Amino acid sequence: MGVVQDLADKLAEDAMAAARDLDDPALIEELAKILGDTSSTLQEAFRTSIRVRMAEARARQHLEAKIARSKGAAKTGEEG
């Protein structure tokens, strides 16, 4: 990755963790606005990284839930 993508991705990672820890989902948008005031390029890379990370988290949750349901069904079938 280039420097813009690297910086944006690290900031996105940190922002998502802070938003979760502080229970402040608006933090991500605040940071995006701050970035937009000085660098639209960095702002867009940040927003892209946030979207990608959020999409991956949703997909991972779905996958883990599906696996857990499958294991639960298999246990129920074995015991019954």
- Asked whether the whole model's pTM tops 0.85, one would answer no
Q: What is the per-residue pLDDT for 72?
A: 86
Q: What is the per-residue pLDDT for 78?
A: 64
Return the axis-axis angle of helices 40-79 and 26-38, rounded to nearest 10°: 150
Q: What is the per-residue pLDDT for 9?
A: 97
pLDDT in tens, the chain (80 residues): 799 999 999 999 999 999 999 999 999 999 999 999 999 999 999 999 999 999 999 999 999 999 999 988 888 776 54
CA distance 62 to 66: 6
For the chain, the domains span: 3-79
